[in-house]
Structure 1
């Protein structure tokens, strides 16, 4: 049979279909009605409260993200004390939320932090301010904290701190026959505080000396306790503060010490500046206290911002450095490859520059992989105050607290092959890409971490120098340290490593 009659017949049928469709418009497809929060799955208030307060939930909030997604899907609701929160654990939906946040993103209420500032009459800083006040502060600080050229200028200051860190590690290891440095998180806490103080004040406060001052030790303890109390005070209705006052009392005492510590160093540095100006001497330096003072901001605002920046710069460095060396000790082959790459790039330089350390691909990949496995902030949040927000098939009313579950997305097996494994090379394959919102440890957009570039530079400088001087090994081969939530994601137990001189 000839093929042409068949083709002619099909052509006729096709023409008839087109004519009918043109003559008779296609019906408009009706959009499926969006669901409400009432339709959203999630644990009962009693069940979630039990998980939080009686099942180690406060320290395992990151694990509850994984459990929630497995049980309820990528979006679910839960009551965190008096607060209704919608959890989002899918990168596509997280992007959807962040693209609706508007000109002045609201990270979250951080209610207990704001309650403290109102209680004491302190100004909000970049972490707690909202709206136009936040926008002004962000624009002012971004000039010195986000531009690569400006950040690179801090390398000399930070390298001096790293030099002291290397001497400090040598001292710590020589006190042990195994060349052991115990409790790395605490040691890097001191390093982080010394580094951020140098950036903010261009002042050394002696955290890496043989004998650390009681003032500094108390400051470190205050930060640690404040973060522990943050989740508890946020979960407690305010009327309980009078019935069970101890958490709020400890929370306030910690913040009092943190603000007093920062104010003391700010005032000391400002006095030095004023003396130089009075003598018509030039005032030079990169420290941010002077930069802020030159913007004609009230001292109350400077106190609030420097205090919050001081706070933010400590745990970020401590956690990232501790987890990085922990994983490198567990994976000696990756550590050896990174050491070779460092030697090739840095050569015989005793002190590498910012340009040197930012050109080591495996170094960047290692840090990126560590932050995927152990994001410093396991769950971020947003509050859209003035409009409904669509999240997938749900319509969320204004002022609802939306928790972005970064820990769950960064360990999603649908996105990352072997998601619980430390595999830095996954970030080096040019032919492989991941959803850009699957791992965003520094946040995204306007509300992202303003100190990101300084923190990355400090970590790169420290890791290059440490791995040039030492090979790191586990105290007990095969030992595992799990993370826990303390507002931030921190090691559940001490990380102890051997530092073997190269």
Structure 2
């Protein structure tokens, strides 16, 4: 009996010791979390954070809705607010004066990209979009040179876009006015422009391999915004071992990298260093200038990553904008009618649209810009990171803080736009003439602005005008078009069907 009692007491003591140990450990973890994440003096205000997860669960974990969840806090706390995504300390900047001060006036302190775990897993510090330092400087400069050398701002590239617009119009015309989903036809057309620069070729709309490539890219855009991908970025040491969408994401990236790698190998077979045909040829030539690969970013891995960055940047935003454009002019038939009238007056039906027509078509130009404003493709811009302790609007921003630029608030600011929540091309017209507003920043500004802005602008005008020249777009009978957006790193419209009725 005594032995039983002794054993029972020992078990109780062991249990007490275990609970004491656990409580002590929890207390230490909470203390460490507090010390690591306590707000320094003059740090921007923001919602109260929870231990370990920060403000993560105060927002929809679907990244594509983050910009909406942030706006109530902006109204409450002001134009510089702080939020924590787990251990990622972030600051959101709103309002044109502060945005300009941060990304142009203090640009050197805001040039770096944050090291997000999912992106690092695939790209390391390679490519253009999320690279920093020497790699970013070398790759951006090289990419701009290649875009210029292979036609940007020249008639040759404009003719390439016109030819692709012809193929797109033909493909859509084959639907004979019946309902269809324009998603991948538009993706294919826009993708062919950047592919002609990167790979030196375009792909037919029935090319199975290229269609698979477009679908992989589409899956990546969606899965990078998934809850599991967000959690991977916040807690990579845990989620890299768990199954889920993040593993499929990495698998899809590897498939795309393999596609580019094979294109690179194919180029090598008949590569002439003195006569580059495209981006890959030019990059291979550049690599020969640096025998010591440790001193430069010109290597095979960077070729693959930069090519993929160019492909995504050159396809995703422009194709999304065109899909939003078809949706908005369908929902606003009076706008479509005015665009048709301007096209008929300036271009007619007998020739292709050219960039020279742009200045004579202020209304069409205004419609395209209003689509960019309302479509809000990249609502919080591409994130940046503070590289040195800084002060903005009197607030202290420590080195390493992630910075998000609130383009959603800027593009819907009632101080800047007469009807901020209504599709209204008049926002970009003054006395009947086109006028671009300072508060319009879909391509960002400064050194980190989108290097393909000029290319995107050319594509949008020619593609949109060519489609409007040939078709009247209508909703299918008994189908109401939706202006909702789907989950994704960029804001794209949910899948929709449309009727392209040929104009006589």
Shift of 1:428: 1.5
What residue number does 1:101 align with?
107
Matched, 1:248 2:238: no
Find the counterpart in structure 1 of residue 137 from structure 2.
135
Q: Post-superposition shift, 1:283?
A: 4.1
**Correspondences of 1:35-434 after superposition (within 5 Å):** 36=41, 38=43, 40-45=45-50, 48-52=55-59, 55=60, 57-98=62-103, 99-102=105-108, 105-118=111-124, 124-145=126-147, 150-152=152-154, 153-171=156-174, 173-174=175-176, 179-182=178-181, 184-206=182-204, 208-209=205-206, 212-213=207-208, 215-231=209-225, 232-236=228-232, 237-274=235-272, 283=275, 287-296=278-287, 297-357=298-358, 359-429=360-430
Shift of 1:327: 0.8
Deviation at 1:243, TM superposition (A): 4.5
- Report the Cα distance in structure 1 between the residues aligned to 2:409 and 2:473, rounded to whole angstroms: 29
Q: In 1, distance between residues paired with 2:48 and 2:187?
A: 36
**Inter-partner Cα distance in structure 2 for 1:159 and 1:61:** 37
Contact 1:374 1:407 in 2 (8 A): no
Aligned residues: 445
Shift in CA distance, 61/472, structure 1 to aligned 2, threshold 3 Å: same
> 1:125 offset after TM fit, Å?
1.0
- Aligned residues of 2:112 and 2:132 also touching (Cα < 8 A): yes
Q: 1:328 to 1:270 in 2, by over 3 A?
A: farther
Q: Which sections of structure 1, spanning at least 5 residues, go unmatched?
A: 1-33
Q: Residues 374-395 of structure 1, C-alpha deviation per residue, up to 9 Å, x if partnerless?
A: 2221112454544222222311
Q: Deviations over 1:188-241 (max 9, x none)?
A: 2222222321232221222x23xx40x333322322222233344354311222
CA contact (8 A) 2:54 2:86 kept: no
Contact 2:44 2:81 in 1 (8 A): no
3-state secondary structure, aligned to 1:418: coil
Who is 1:18 aligned against? none
Residues 474 and 497, structure 1, Cα contact 8 Å, conserved in 2: yes
Partner SS, residue 239 of structure 1: helix
After superposition, the CA RMSD in angstroms is: 2.9
* Structure 2 unaligned blocks of 5 or more: 1-38, 288-297
Distance 1:146 1:72 in 2: 44
State the TM-score, normalizing by the size of structure 1: 0.80
Q: Secondary structure, in 3 states, of the residue corresponding to 2:107?
A: coil
